[in-house]
């Protein structure tokens, strides 16, 4: 029973992209802990006749060890997301976006996930939006795996009320262009930053109207 619950718990944790402080993952281990406690004390409660040495070897020792191991595992699953602490004293929106871009450029998908809100939304021009932290983490894992030289080169930042606009260009993307040619194709990223986390990441065309509307100016 302990093995079944522990295995099921691990598979659920993996399926949910290894979440932080997930109550379902935590609660699924409670029956396993109860089973481990029963192994430790069940013989004493039911009056099974064994020598002290046999009871210690076959019941108390394994039961206590399993209980300690499972409690440690629950403590691990119960960790809070690092960004939860950051939200107590959130970084300025531009600093959050700079960190987000840095994670992209270093292919640090784990870092990206920590900077995303749980309802993070990716919008690439007119393509359907990708919604949710887990879905976006998987998407970035696939993208940086396929295009390991992908880099965002910011030219200019502007921020207004938590909305950060970034004018820049990329190299090494799916466009499969020489760096010199791709660097001439500028675009704008628009991030919505809420309590130190990136709620949305949008890619839009670099047009004079978009620049003016986002406070990026109109000069090249």
Angle at alpha carbon of residue 106, lines to 104 and 112, rounded to 5°: 40
56, 79, 102 — which closes off a domain? 79
Residues 32 and 115 in one domain: no
What pLDDT score was predicted for residue 86? 47
Residues 206 and 103 in one domain: yes
- Determine the Cα–Cα distance for residues 135 and 140; give it in Å rounded to an integer: 9
Residue 67 in any domain: the answer is yes
Residue 209 in any domain: the answer is yes
- DSSP-derived pairing of the beta strands 116-124 and 130-131: antiparallel
Residues 96 and 198 in one domain: yes
Q: What is the CATH number of the domain that holds 153?
A: 3.10.450.50
Q: What is the DSSP string of 2-39?
A: HHHHHHHHHHHHHHTTS-SS-HHHHHTTHHHHHHHHHH
Residue 10 in any domain: the answer is yes
Residues 160 and 51 in one domain: no
Residues 91 and 172 in one domain: yes
Say if residues 197 and 112 touch (Cβ distance below 8 Å): no
- Number of domains, the chain: 2
Residues 111 and 56 in one domain: no
What pLDDT score was predicted for residue 150? 97
Query: Encoding tokens for residue 135?
Result: 């879905």
- Number of CB atoms found within 10 A of residue 51's CB: 8
Residues 88 and 151 in one domain: yes
Q: Which domain holds residue 160?
A: 83-214
Q: What is the pTM of this model?
A: 0.61
Say if residues 100 and 36 touch (Cβ distance below 8 Å): no
- Number of CB atoms found within 10 A of residue 196's CB: 21
Residues 187 and 103 in one domain: yes
Residues 119 and 193 in one domain: yes
Strand (E) or helix (H) holding 48: none
101 burial class (0-12, 13-18, 19+ CB within 10 angstroms)? buried
Residue 65 in any domain: the answer is yes
pLDDT tens digit at each of 220 positions of the chain? 666 766 776 677 677 666 666 667 677 677 777 776 656 566 555 555 555 565 555 565 666 666 776 667 666 666 655 555 545 678 899 999 999 999 999 999 999 999 999 999 999 999 999 999 999 999 999 999 999 999 999 999 999 999 999 999 999 999 999 999 999 999 999 999 999 999 999 999 999 999 999 999 877 6
- Number of CB atoms found within 10 A of residue 208's CB: 10
214 burial class (0-12, 13-18, 19+ CB within 10 angstroms)? buried
Residue 219 in any domain: the answer is no
């Amino acid at each position: 029973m302990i093995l079944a619950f522990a295995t099921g718990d691990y598979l659920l944790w993996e399926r949910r992209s290894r979440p932080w402080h997930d109550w379902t993952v935590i609660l699924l281990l409670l029956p396993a802990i109860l089973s481990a406690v029963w192994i430790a004390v069940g013989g004493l409660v039911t009056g099974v006749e064994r020598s002290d040495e046999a009871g210690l070897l076959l019941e108390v020792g394994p039961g206590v060890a399993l209980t300690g191991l499972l409690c440690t595992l629950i403590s691990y699953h119960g960790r809070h997301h690092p960004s939860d602490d950051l939200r107590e004293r959130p970084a300025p929106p531009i600093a959050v976006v700079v960190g987000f871009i840095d994670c992209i450029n270093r292919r640090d998908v784990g870092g990206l996930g920590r900077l995303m809100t749980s309802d993070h939304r990716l919008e690439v021009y007119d393509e359907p939006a990708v919604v949710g932290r887990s879905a976006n983490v998987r998407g970035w894992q696939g993208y940086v795996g396929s295009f390991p030289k992908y880099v965002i080169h910011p030219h200019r930042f502007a921020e207004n009320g938590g909305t950060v606009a970034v004018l820049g260009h990329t190299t090494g993307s799916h466009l499969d262009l020489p760096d010199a040619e791709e660097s001439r194709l500028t675009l704008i990223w628009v991030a919505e930053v809420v309590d130190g986390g990136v709620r949305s990441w949008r890619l839009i065309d670099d047009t004079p109207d978009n620049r003016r509307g986002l406070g990026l100016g109109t000069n090249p």
